[in-house]
Amino acid sequence: MLTTPSAEPAPPPVGSARRGDNADAAALLARFREVRGLSERLCKPLEVEDYVIQTMEDVSPAKWHLGHTTWFYERFILQEVVEGYRPVSEPYYYLFNSYYNAAGPMHCRPSRGLLSRPTVAEVYGYRREIDRRMAGLLAPQNRRERAPRASGGGGSSDMLRDRLILGLNHEQQHQELMVTDLKHIFSSNPLLPAYHRPEHAPPTPGTLAPQVAPPPAAWVPFEEGLRDMGRDLDGAGFCYDNETPRHRVYLRAFALASRPVSNAEYVRFVEDGGYERHELWLSAGWATVQKEGWRQPIYWFRDEPDPARPATPPGDLSDPAATRERAGASGPRWMQYTLSGPMPVDPAEPVCHLSYFEADAFARWAGGRLPTESEWEAAAAESGVAVAGNFVDAGLLHPEPMRAGGVGDSREALEGMFGDVWEWTASQYTPYPGFRALPGALGEYNGKFMCNQFVLRGGSCATSQNHTRVTYRNFFPPHARWQFTGLRLAKDL
């Protein structure tokens, strides 16, 4: 399992630690080692050939992720606080810069897969050296008052702590990207190899128990009125600048589905001609469907039909018997590529790897809509939903089925809000009222992407649990579907 140790002390809330607090320094160092260790555990199943592949512009090689997250600490912490600092390698500042124009020039994103050098061993050596330097900086006996020499900032101890916590959250984002990028890379291989077999791996196709759809979703109502949403930077705990400032919104009465949309429900959409019906799609979405030839989610495919088995009509896939038929008892099955290799599509799993366009089209077909991010956040906060679920910590790296008696079985409460799949919202990724980007190069972290993207909420099976919170705003362009992204229906009341 890729479990993150739960016994490690959590970092203190931003802005709350005392200068020179050795307990604070020890906790930060332990947290640094924990996060850095997970990146390398995620790479343990890889062969050296797997580290360098880039299958599309949105995907980065695992080697680049390892180098870029290391560069972040060197460029934004070590260089800022260590007088006379000398980089490990000047070319790495160019190769591993992603999009920070204020930090200098960068290698073009679509060509990251052409970097056979530095070697994988050299990148791991780079990590070892930066980890050594960071450990020296963070050691309690070495904590001193330092003033940042470049962009950003207040006092040294606060600045160092805040930059480090940002760097740790940044690396957790790249850990999730590494998982999703590796899935795209392995799925592009005609051998469809498995990335890993987790301790609690799904059963092989020959040993599958009869599959059933999850219980029907219920509608959970919420009253109209004013809500506070977002965070303040001086509040307790970490948040990104795009979650700020806390502000008030007015919501009309609405309802959310009690669980995410399932594979069984999405199969009905596919087999009802959802990808051939232009009236269900936004104009840009329909153009994308035509251009890319989409006919099902990105990792779905049909297995070869068995001529000895009679074909059966699709039937009502909300009915367990019909679902078992379609899921493999007869006729060609829907299969999906997973990080454990090809598996039958489980009707009870949350549907995932959908673009915003697909989520929106399904919602229209189903007679509902996508929730706004304000509705999603208000519903999660008012329901007291715990930030718990199937995260990367469990090591499954795949959504869990929503079975009777478990997730998705509630008739009165929201289930599955966190983990398994990110949930698309209808909200454009735009600044909150009064938003101000951070000063300096780190101001490029979020603010400059607030155009032509949509917000997702909740986290996925590739997200670290302690990286997730009710106010977290993820965002992707509407055509993106290589992430673990799904949906939950909403409706007006």
Per-domain boundaries in the chain: 22-187, 205-492
Half-sphere exposure in the Cβ direction for 438 (13 Å, CA) = 23
Q: How far is CA 427 from CA 116, 372, 449, in A?
A: 40, 5, 14
Give me the residues of the chain with pLDDT under 50, please: 1-20, 145-155, 204-209, 306-330, 411
Does this chain's domain 22-187 share its CATH topology with 205-492? no
**99/102 Cα distance (integer angstroms):** 9
**Nearest to 163, CA basis, from 445, 479, 430, 354:** 445
Stated length of the chain: 493
Cα(405)–Cα(464) distance, rounded to whole angstroms?
A: 25
What sign for the dihedral angle of Cα 372, 375, 381, 383? negative
CA angle 139, 144, 150 (to 5 degrees): 105
Partners of residue 302 on adjacent β-strands: 334
Q: At what angle do helices 62-73 and 156-187 cross, to 10 degrees?
A: 180
Does the pTM exceed 0.95? no
Please state, in angstroms and rounded to a whole number, the distance separating the CA atoms of residues 230 and 469.
11
Sheet containing 334-338: order of strands: 300-302, 334-338, 341-344
Q: What is the model's pLDDT at position 218?
A: 95
Whole-number Å distance between alpha carbons of 1 and 391: 12
| One CATH from 1.20.120, 2.40.128, 1.10.275, 2.60.40 for 22-187 | 1.20.120
Give the type of residue at 271.
E
**The pLDDT of residue 310:** 39
- The model's pLDDT over 221-235, given as tens digits with 9 standing for 90+, comes to 999 999 999 998 777
Taking only the tens place, the pLDDT of each residue in 69-83 is: 999 999 999 999 999
CB 378 within 8 A of CB 221: no
Q: What pLDDT score was predicted for residue 202?
A: 52
Fold observed for domain 205-492 = paralog of FGE (formylglycine-generating enzyme) (3.90.1580)
* Mode of pairing for the β-strands spanning 225-229 and 490-492: unpaired
The two three-digit tokens of residue 458, written as one number? 């909740």
Tell me what pLDDT residue 438 has.
83
Structure confidence at residue 140 (pLDDT): 67
The pLDDT assigned to 410 comes to 52
Q: Which helix or strand (DSSP H or E) is residue 171 part of?
A: helix 156-187
Residue type at position 252: R
Check whether the bond before 61 is cis (ω within 30° of 0). no
Alpha carbons 175 and 196: distance in angstroms, whole number: 16
- Phi and psi torsions of 424, nearest 5°: -65, 140
Task: Please tell me the predicted confidence (pLDDT) of residue 21.
Answer: 59
46 close to 7: Cβ distance less than 8 angstroms: no
pLDDT of residue 47: 97
Element (H, E) at 251: strand 247-251
